[in-house]
Amino acid sequence: MYTQAKPESKNGNFVGTAESAFLFVCPTPFCANLTRMPLTPQALAALRQDYSQRGLDLSDMAPDPLVQFQQWLAEAHAQQLIEPNAMTLATVDSTGQPWTRTVLLKICDARGFAFFTNYNGTKGAHLAGESRAAITFWWSALERQVNITGRVTKASRAESEAYFSSRPIASQLGAWASPQSSTIPDRSTLEEAFIQAKERFANAPIPCPEHWGGYRLEPETVEFWQGRRSRLHDRLRYVKGADGGWSITRLAP
């Protein structure tokens, strides 16, 4: 609900907008720390950024999109962004409904883009039925995104086990404790499962669960997007040919 606030004044004159004369007061503990008013439809529609940092030309691009991606990822990392390897993964269920979630890129090499997860979760079920998927990286500080499509296959067991062993102990235990995407009655159920896993492996190395491992998206298209003024963004798309080579085209924004 809204309540009228005492406006600030200077020399007897009101300072600020009419909107600032009202405060949003939340009557429930849910938003006890809420200090800002919700966006109005007009304010939401007005949110925009005119991108102006740099352009993108064909002469800037490496012949191989994976080489180009690694360069952009390194630049994002140099900006000290929080998890520059975070990517949106899109999969499709058996009805054709797309689903998205954020996962972390853990291996990027000539073979493609690899991430690790519970094979029994929702995305695992989707990929078992439809191997085509897409991923997007968004780096707002650089006004850049990369959009990738391709087919996903499971990583080798040896590769999954090698990565699993490099994870923090708590993350290894979490892989054993969480029945990913399954309905659970409450958080205490999950926490108890974590305690049980911790006790189970208290005096032994934690093995990689059979239901846990890597997936790799082998790219078929890779689009590099650079924000530009007036929404005239630069879009350069690599497309993989039948011979394994890459062609690059410019797309209209």
pTM: 0.84
Question: Which two structure tokens, joined as six digits, stand for 251?
Answer: 């797309």
Catalytic residue from among 54, 101, 200, 231? 231
The string of pLDDT tens digits covering residues 211-240 is 999 999 999 999 999 999 999 999 999 999
pLDDT at 89: 98
pLDDT at 36: 81
pLDDT at 28: 56
pLDDT at 203: 87
Residue type, 150: G
CATH topology of domain 58-251: Pnp Oxidase; Chain A (2.30.110)
Judge whether 228 counts as a catalytic residue. Answer: no
pLDDT tens for the chain, residues 1 to 253: 434 444 444 443 433 443 333 344 455 555 555 568 899 999 999 999 999 999 999 998 999 999 999 999 999 999 999 999 999 999 999 999 999 999 999 999 999 999 999 999 999 999 999 999 999 999 999 999 999 999 999 999 999 999 999 999 999 999 999 999 999 999 999 999 999 999 999 989 999 999 999 999 999 999 999 999 999 999 999 999 999 999 999 999 9
Domain extent listing, the chain: 2-43, 58-251
